[in-house]
Structure 1
Amino acid sequence: MVTQTQPIALYYFRTPNGHKVSMMLEELGVPYTIRVIHIGKGDQLKPEFLAISPNNKIPAIVDPEGSDGAPISIFESGAILQYLGSKFGQFYPAELRAKTKVDEWLFWQVGGFGPMLGQNNHFVHYAPEKVPYAINRYVNETHRLYGVLNRQLEERDYIAGDYSIADIATIGWANDLERQTMDPADFPNVMRWREAVNARPAIQRAYAINIDEASIPNLAEDKDAQAVLFGQRAK
């Protein structure tokens, strides 16, 4: 079993993607420190953060004790979860068939479930004008994706069988199901799974992480934060 002596630095903000890595670190019980990246203020565009996360998105980590003993920085939440699961041998199977099943659902989350639900959230709550076609497009796709997840959970407690990084990647987005204008009654298996995952002490500790709440922008009203988050182009 790998022992971590120096804390892993987590570059973080309170978003579903940020929660993924704090949840994983809490589940693993390894030491880590929080470095808050105020995404509404543009911290993610600073050169020192771009050196770690060139896509200017959170989360990212720096592990001072990489698998070869040298420090390593990692960006993209799915890659971070795979790295941590592989390094510490938890929540990510070593056996190829089981590992592949977890990878399928991890990639499903990072490639579809997260991005589509994010677009739903944007057009329903933050777009300066209501665009019915966009709202219908992303709300319908959100509903379809929850249907996929609901069917997967019909005969199993967790997404890929045993509790894994697939569940950790997905739960933060699923916790906003109602805000995404979904009816919980349509997805009973998702709701049962969501309750079970949220009952885990590590998940509760991750959600309890305290940062300066005044620094969290109200995107519906904060035009400066909207300009930072919604107006980016290639530099």
Structure 2
Amino acid sequence: MIDLHYWPTPNGKKVTILLEECGLPYKVVPVNIGQGDQFTDSFLEMNPNHRMPVMVDHAPADGGKPLVVFESGAIMMYIAEKAGRFYPQDLRAKHEVNQWLIWQMANQGPKSGECGHFRRVDQAREGDQTYAITRFTDEVNRLYGVLNNRLYKHRYLAGDQYTIADMICYPWTVNWKFQGQDIEEFPYFKRWFEELGARPAVQKGMAVGADFAVDREKLPPEEQERIRKMLYNQRARPVRVAD
């Protein structure tokens, strides 16, 4: 059994899509990032970077103690290898997948996250955000162009096979409208986007934890402020010296 410490964000949904596609049994352990569950001692033991998701495999292939993996890309490589699906192991095909996994982790995810962050900012409170909004909206547009050009030549990101390269990218594209993009500008991406969105396992994976999410805009102002202070402008945590 796999435990997935999870909250319904794009980084969590990547993993639930893969688990649903593989048909592996798993248990969702909610990590309420608005309440600060990611900062508890028990969570930090699993992930010193205090970010979800985290996977715990209670039946690893080596027969040893439960195996803990953090970072969504690493989790996806682990699960796909365990299942023997969606991650070809021959030299060229494997590294075709790997490069798109790293592209997503290093480019699409961070830049899309910054785009969403600055487009949500209360400018009456925080000041003019025009530069940041333009900077990251344009960068996300560039990244959609990267996808579109790749998918002009290939059915899927890693070639002709549907792989974890596709699954890891898809959840970051579902909010294309909020990211300030026009899907009609990217017809080859749109074809891929609609094909993936029609897959039953993708739909199930995207729906996991739908009842967890809270609309922060509907929370009392003091609770919104508490969450904002907790999640934004974090600085280094001091080393905890053992007694």
Q: Normalising TM by the smaller chain, what interval?
A: over 0.9
Render the CA deviation track for 1:78-117: whole Å, top value 9, x for unaligned: 0001111112110100101000000010100000011001
- Structure-2 separation of matches of 1:164 and 1:214: 28
Q: Secondary structure at the match of 1:73?
A: strand
Alpha carbons 1:147, 1:187 under 8 Å: kept: yes
Identity %, equivalent residues: 42
- Measured after TM superposition, the shift of residue 26 of structure 1 is 0.6
Is 1:217 matched up with 2:216? Answer: yes
- Structure-2 separation of matches of 1:104 and 1:53: 24
Residue of structure 2 in register with 1:108 after alignment: 103
Alpha carbons 1:38, 1:215 under 8 Å: kept: no
Residue of structure 2 in register with 1:3 after alignment: none
- Measured after TM superposition, the shift of residue 214 of structure 1 is 6.1
TM-score normalised by structure 1 residue count: 0.93
Alpha carbons 1:9, 1:34 under 8 Å: kept: yes
Render the CA deviation track for 1:173-202: whole Å, top value 9, x for unaligned: 011111100011111111110110111111
Structure showing greater radius of gyration is 2
Q: Secondary structure at the match of 1:90?
A: coil
Alpha carbons 2:7, 2:212 under 8 Å: kept: no
Q: Secondary structure at the match of 1:185?
A: helix
Runs of 4+ residues deviating >6 angstroms? none
Aligned with residue 44 of structure 2, among 27, 42, 50 = 50
Residue of structure 1 in register with 2:94 after alignment: 99
- Structure-2 separation of matches of 1:201 and 1:16: 17
- Structure-2 separation of matches of 1:182 and 1:68: 46
TM-score normalised by structure 2 residue count: 0.90
Is 1:153 matched up with 2:151? Answer: yes
Gaps of 5+ in 2: 238-243
Q: Which amino acid in structure 2 is aligned with residue 142 of structure 1?
A: V
Alpha carbons 1:38, 1:216 under 8 Å: kept: no
- Measured after TM superposition, the shift of residue 217 of structure 1 is 3.4
Alignment of 1:195-206 (within 5 A): 195-206=194-205
- Structure-2 separation of matches of 1:28 and 1:69: 21
Q: Secondary structure at the match of 2:145?
A: helix
Is 1:78 matched up with 2:77? Answer: no
Residue of structure 1 in register with 2:53 after alignment: 59
Residue of structure 1 in register with 2:187 after alignment: 188
Distance 1:89-1:227 versus aligned 2 partners, 3 A rule: same
- Structure-1 separation of matches of 2:80 and 2:36: 30
Q: Which amino acid in structure 1 is aligned with residue 32 of structure 2?
A: H
Distance 1:214-1:57 versus aligned 2 partners, 3 A rule: closer
Render the CA deviation track for 1:24-74: whole Å, top value 9, x for unaligned: 111110110000100011100001011111110111100011121121000
RMSD: 1.6
- Structure-2 separation of matches of 1:178 and 1:170: 16
Alpha carbons 1:8, 1:64 under 8 Å: kept: yes
Alignment size in residue pairs: 229
Residue of structure 2 in register with 1:233 after alignment: 235
Gaps of 5+ in 1: 1-6
- Measured after TM superposition, the shift of residue 216 of structure 1 is 5.4
- Structure-1 separation of matches of 2:69 and 2:24: 17
